[in-house]
Amino acid sequence: MQRHKTAIVRYEKPFESLKKTVALAGGLEHLPQGAKVCIKPNIVFWTRSVPFPKWGVITTSRIVEDVVILLKERGISDITIAEGTVTMDPKDRATPAHAFETLGYGVLEKRYGVKSLSVFERPFRKVNIGEGIFLNFNQDALESDYLINLPVLKTHNQTKVSLGIKNLKGLLDISSRKKCHSADPAHDLNFMVSRLPIAMPPVFTVIDGIYTNERGPSFDGRIRRKDILIASGDILSADLVGAMVLGFNTRDVPHLVHAAMREERPTDLSDIEVAGERIEDVASPHGYDFAYSESDDGVMPLPLARQGIKGLSYHKYDLSMCTYCSGLNGLILTAIRGAWKGEPWNRVEVLTGKIMKPTPGMNKTILIGKCMYKANKDNPDIKELFAVKGCPPSAGDIVKALYWAGIEVNSTLFEQIDQLPGFFMQRYENKPQFDESHFKVT
């Protein structure tokens, strides 16, 4: 049985910790000096509106620069950083550029000759990922000789973990990202994500666990300082080890099970050689899910139920809800909580994603997003309908829909959506373990 080297190292010192991790995992010595290398960090979200501490959400600039230094030591000069940051306006070019500059990628260009690019400004190529399914991947990554994959060590409210394999989704164009959230149960999000490595050149994964994120993948999760790096020349091995460090039984992470089955490999780490720290010495449970309550009055997140909210059904998101609707989901729930005045609403139901169906007997139904509208616009179980048809949905239209249903939310929350990260990140202010310097290149 082939043994896949995977390293776990405690992050203690810039560059030296990264260098040790890579060496224990098998190293990059085989790369020829003329190799073309693409670095894929994780910049899942960005805003220009507020200073945005990125702990546990975004790959640290410290690790990005350390990888660049290591590559330069190997004589590699053709280095490109590529990422497709999610923005609520798919045509937004200024926000990704601001992210690159703020994270110090411009300094990396001047100092080391590193290029950085937003994949949405570059060509894509259609790739068959199996079973007749085609997705469009960034051409720069596909044409690289080697991909250095730099995910964050975090959980995900749909795929349970978001590590090396999931990080590759950031190389897809928008239509392919939406396609990953299929309504087909045989080809759901977990299946699609498991197939992403098929398209890639050889991949070396370093999971950045200086900070971790519980109930991620974004700024509303619970951030911890963990100081752990995990690396492997085999992306599945890195993810299996990473999942266990996050406290998961790997058999319970569907996209990793799919990937292992496709490669005819076990999920119990029996074919993985772990070097450095032992998994059990660094592992800690990280939740991924959000509890929901179901009663005669409806379905809603547990915090809303505990608040005493009545007359509302807000069903739990499923795998078919894509990134763009997901980005609004938490805001809608926050606004609803603020709008509750103690009087039951008129049996209102809110549906999201692609596969939810209306509940008979509800008086008012709100369909969030074009996909939900297309799936249920003619459903006879709907008495009164307000469809927010956009893709992504308009924040203004969501406010109108909620007001139509009698839920008088604070519209300012939606008008200032880019301010939201600042609200969540206040909890980490003045705590020295959350170090902003990890996201700067000096």
Instruction: Provide the residue type at 424 as one letter.
Output: F
Say which CATH architecture domain 4-288 belongs to.
3-Layer(aba) Sandwich (3.40)
Longest Cα–Cα distance in the chain: 69
Enter the tokens of residue 415.
Answer: 């008008």
From CA 329, how far away is CA 417, in angstroms rounded? 12
Give me the residue spans of the domains in the chain.
Answer: 4-288, 292-422
Q: How far apart are CA 81 and CA 86, in angstroms?
A: 16
Amino acid at 286: H
Question: For the chain, how far is it from start to end, CA to CA, in angstroms?
Answer: 45
Tell me the sheet residues that pair with 160: 156
Can you give the pLDDT at residue 52?
67
**Cis status, amide bond into 392, omega within 30 of 0:** yes
Residues with Cβ < 8 Å from 96, sequence gap 6 or more? 43, 46, 83, 84, 85, 87, 118, 120
| Residues of the chain where predicted confidence (pLDDT) is lower than 70 | 1, 52-53
Other Cβ atoms within 10 Å of 223 Cβ, number: 24
Predicted pLDDT of residue 247:
97
The pLDDT of residue 91 is: 85
Predicted pLDDT at 219: 87
Q: What is the pLDDT of residue 57?
A: 93
Q: What's residue 49's pLDDT? A: 86
Q: How far apart are the C-alpha atoms of 74 and 240, rounded to whole Å?
A: 28
DSSP characters for 111-130?
HH--EEEEGGGS-EEEEEEE
